[in-house]
Amino acid sequence: MNISDQYSDFSQDCHSLVSKYLTKVLFEHLKDKRTNNGFSLQQAINSGVVNPDSGIGIYAGDEASYATFAPLFDPIIEDYHGYGKDRLHISNLNPEDLNAANPDPEGHYIISTRIRVARNLHGLPLGTTISTEHRKLVEQRVVSALEKLVGDLAGRYYPLKTMSEADRARLISDHILFKAGDRFLQAAGLNRDWPESRGIFHNNDRTFSAWVNEEDHLRVISMQIGGDIKQVFTRLSAAVAEIGRELEFSRNHHLGYITSCPTNLGTAMRASVHINLPKLATDMAQLTSIADEYHLQVRGMHGEHTASEGSIFDVSNRRRLGVTEVECVQDMYDGIVVLIKIEQTL
């Protein structure tokens, strides 16, 4: 990565949070600081420098980054999450606390439901700066924990390096496998040594999967056809509890679970449905207004930075930090109930 030591003004058409808060004075104050893993400000902001269309434009290299570069991370976290630097983050993964009867039992609207959390191993650098040796150690520890899963979570690990093209295409088309990282992740250093020590684990009926060394050390994913959101959350919670018995995750009382990208801090959870809304699709202003009111994010169905296809949308919770996991799923659920009601009245 071509990391510059000189501050350069961000272009006028750059609206990222890093361009909003990284003044020349702050750059000069932070540019010679390093975390205990040697991670620098220049490495942290490189993605936002190289990609002026970034929304955020900054990644962490380790848990310490959020403290070492706090004068920059704190205002970005407050702006994105509405979460002040003195707040404490509380977790609650108990599905009994979720009020979510299937909002679409006949399957007229919801095609599939997916809930994922990100986790990083305590004491090891994040993907942006991790060495090949440490990345292999992450793979070994995570796969060892995944291979201890039993019952309906039991499955098999598929290293990307030895995966057949047919398997890869099948898993991507089933929305199970991650694609090689985009230009934002590339500029953040997250694609280094690709596909070394990357892979995917999934259970026999592909309702549970885990990504190893993509954007974070581990992504734990529960997914199934239809709108039984509570069942998907129950499976995710059980998997996270089982894996958490084997691995120590990086977290603290203020930021919750530590992630490479500050947008994922806290619960590190994205709960989404792929939902068909043919009438609302003709009124994107109304869809966007409801999404804003119910803290929802609307993406294309092939993942982040992809366009919607026809009237099928990926609708998920936007809040991740300062709310519990139950509240993340409740946010998505409550918004989906409203979207379906409005779709039915149009």
The residues binding ligand DAR (CB under 6 A) are 16, 54-57, 184, 215, 261, 263-264, 304
Question: Which one of ligand ADP, ligand DAR, none interacts with residue 261, CB within 5 to 8 A by kind?
Answer: ligand DAR
The residue annotated as part of the active site, out of 114, 119, 198, 299, is 299
Q: Annotated catalytic, 320?
A: no
Rounded Cα distance, 83 and 28, in Å: 26
Complex with ligand DAR: residue 149 or 200, whichever CB lies closer:
200
Q: To 10 degrees, what angle do helices 284-293 and 325-345 make?
A: 150
Residue 309 in the binding site for ligand ADP (CB under 6 A) = no
DSSP 86-154: T--------GGG-----S-TT-SSEEEEEEEEEE-BTTS--TTT--HHHHHHHHHHHHHHHTT--GGG-
- The verdict on whether 299 is a catalytic residue reads yes
What's the CA gap between 33 and 158, in Å, rounded? Answer: 39
Is 251 one of the catalytic residues?
Answer: no
Q: Which is nearer to ligand ADP, 135 or 274 (CB)?
A: 274
CB distance 281 to 300 below 8 Å: no
The residue from 217, 230, 251, 299 that contacts ligand ADP (CB under 6 A) is: 299
Q: Say which of 35, 68, 207, 263 is annotated catalytic.
A: 263
State which residue, 128 or 264, has the beta carbon closest to ligand DAR: 264
Task: Name the 3-class secondary structure at 276.
Answer: strand
Tell whether residue 168 is a contact of ligand ADP (CB under 6 A): no
Nearest-10 Cα torsion for 60, 63, 64, 67: 80
Size of the site for ligand ADP (CB under 6 A): 17
Helix (H, G, I), strand (E, B) or coil at 179: coil
Question: For this structure, is 198 an active site residue?
Answer: no
User: 85 and 70 in contact (C-beta within 8 Å)?
Assistant: yes
Residue 219: active-site member? yes
Q: Does 272 bind ligand ADP (CB under 6 A)?
A: yes
Q: Is 51 in the site for ligand ADP (CB under 6 A)?
A: no
Catalytic status, residue 141: no
Catalytic residue among 132, 304, 306, 309: 304
For this structure, is 207 an active site residue? no
Q: Which of 261, 267, 325, 328 is catalytic?
A: 261
Asked if 81 is part of the footprint of ligand ADP (rule: CB under 6 A), the reply reads no
Quick check: helix, strand or coil at residue 11? coil
Tell which residue, 256, 246, 228, has the closest CA to residue 83: 256
Where do we find the tokens 């399957």? 107
Determine phi and psi for 344, rounding to 5 degrees.
-70, -25
Query: Quick one: tokens of 263?
Result: 């947008």
Instruction: Using the minimum distance from each CB to ligand ADP, give the nearer residue, 102 or 137.
Output: 102
Please identify, using beta-carbon distances, which residue of 21 and 109 lies nearer to ligand DAR. Answer: 21
304 binds ligand ADP (CB under 6 A): yes
Burial class (CB in 10 A: 0-12, 13-18, 19+), 312: middle
From the list 114, 116, 235, 320, the catalytic residue is 116
Q: Which is nearer to ligand DAR, 66 or 109 (CB)?
A: 66
Which residue has the closest beta carbon to ligand ADP?
303
Active site residue 192: no
CB of 217 to ligand DAR, least distance (A): 14
φ/ψ (deg, to 5) at 181? -55, 145
Per CB under 6 A, 318 contacts ligand ADP:
no
Q: Is residue 114 close enough to count as binding ligand ADP by CB under 6 A?
A: yes
Contact 16, 48 (CB under 8 A): yes
- If one asks whether residue 175 binds ligand ADP (CB under 6 A), the answer comes out as yes
Annotated active-site positions, please?
Answer: 116, 215, 219, 261, 263, 270, 299, 304
Give contact residues for ligand ADP (rule: CB under 6 A). Answer: 112-114, 116, 175, 219, 223, 270, 272-274, 299, 301-304, 314
